[in-house]
Amino acid sequence: MSEQNVNMPEARERIAKIVEDTDSLPSLPTIVMKLIDVVNSAESSAEDAAELIEKDPALTTKMIRLANSAFYGIPRSISSVTSAVVVLGFNTIRSLVLSASVAKIFEGKHSLDMDRFWKHSVVTAMASKIIVRHLMSVRMMDPESAFCAGVLHDIGKLIFSQYMADDYATVCDYAKEHKVPLIEAENKCLGFNHAEMGKILADRWSLPLDLEYTIVHHHGPENADKVSHLANIIHLADIISHDVGCNLWDDEVRVQESAQCRAELKIGDADFEKIMSNIENSLDKSQEFLAILK
């Protein structure tokens, strides 16, 4: 694509329609919306969550398989959703249900390679969790909330890739040809990027606000109006995921690491090395999670 025709006015119009028309985007299944409420309520029991999940047989099977997978490494076998909820905890169940539902909602034709997309997302999620565990001694944050944000951080790309497949293929070609990060190509060609599109979806799905804020700022945590540890963590995890080879195409150019990200998280060079080797050692585990997710 030459410099002269990078502006894609028709694609911009399609985006405006998606943003303005509330019916244009997929909705989150009622079961998942209710489950998020159950998980957020202090009065809920494992049975309340299990009762909801069991209404969906496909989701039930996925939950049981995931709970028994090497990904979680639970030493005993889990045969019911209630025990899966008890053993894994509410927040893990929320991550699993959201991941499985999003994968289901967006199955079908895409311009992006979905195997690579999900691998990037799941490895980002695993890296986020590892970073939080590493930081546990200095700061309390739930590793599962970070995992969930990691899985969903690039959700805006799914809208572009499925709802505007041809336009987005052109945007990817621009990024490849000019060797620029995809978000830069989106801004240049579409005047709108996947972080902004992710916000629209998070808003429509009433996802927790910290999750929405993280999706919006994952490429530029320094531009957020307040320091967000979660946005910094996902930003760093996203970069690590790229650097261990989990990208959308070979030689995909990633964004620059935000200058103050590691300092704000108080991650020194030695910490970073430990985090990297931990992630490299966990890469195999992502395969099993991915196989069950789809």
The contact set with Fe ion (CB under 5 A) reads 154, 238
CB neighbours of 262 closer than 8 A, spacing ≥ 6? 236, 268, 272
CA distance 185 to 207: 27
Nearer to Fe ion, 49 or 152 (CB): 152
**Residue 100: both structure tokens together:** 């499985």
Residue type, 191: G
Output 62 or 242, the one with its CB closest to Fe ion. 242
Shortest distance, position 257 Cβ to Fe ion, whole Å: 13
Q: Which one, 48 or 238, has the nearer CB to Fe ion?
A: 238
Query: At closest approach, how far in Å is the CB of 120 from Fe ion?
Result: 6
Report the residue count for the chain.
294
To the nearest 10°, the Cα dihedral for 253, 185, 112, 285?
40
DSSP 8-state symbol, 221 = G
Q: How far is the CB of 111 from Fe ion (least distance, A)?
A: 16
* 144 or 154: CB nearest Fe ion: 154
Q: Closest separation between CB of residue 1 and Fe ion, Å?
A: 21
Closest distance between Fe ion and the C-beta of residue 225, in Å? 19
Residue placing its CB nearer to Fe ion in the complex, 94 or 219: 219
Question: Is the Cβ of residue 128 or residue 145 nearer to Fe ion in the bound state?
Answer: 128
Min dist CB 274 to Fe ion, Å, is 22
| Continuous H helices in 191-268 | 194-204, 209-217, 229-243, 261-265
Residue nearer to Fe ion on the CB measure, 144 or 238: 238
For Fe ion, which is the closer residue by CB, 39 or 149? Answer: 149
35 near 97, Cβ under 8 Å?
yes
Q: Return d(Cα 170, Cα 277) in angstroms, integer.
A: 36
CA distance 27 to 175: 30
What is the helix (H) or strand (E) element at residue 289, kind and residue range?
A: helix 269-293
Amino acid in the structure at residue 103: A
The string of DSSP letters for 146-200 reads HHHHHHHTTHHHHHHHHHSHHHHHHHHHHHHHHT--HHHHHHHHHS--HHHHHHH
Least distance from C-beta 273 to Fe ion, angstroms? 22
Q: How far is the CB of 219 from Fe ion (least distance, A)?
A: 6
User: Which of 158, 133, 155, 156 is closest to 233 using CA atoms?
Assistant: 133
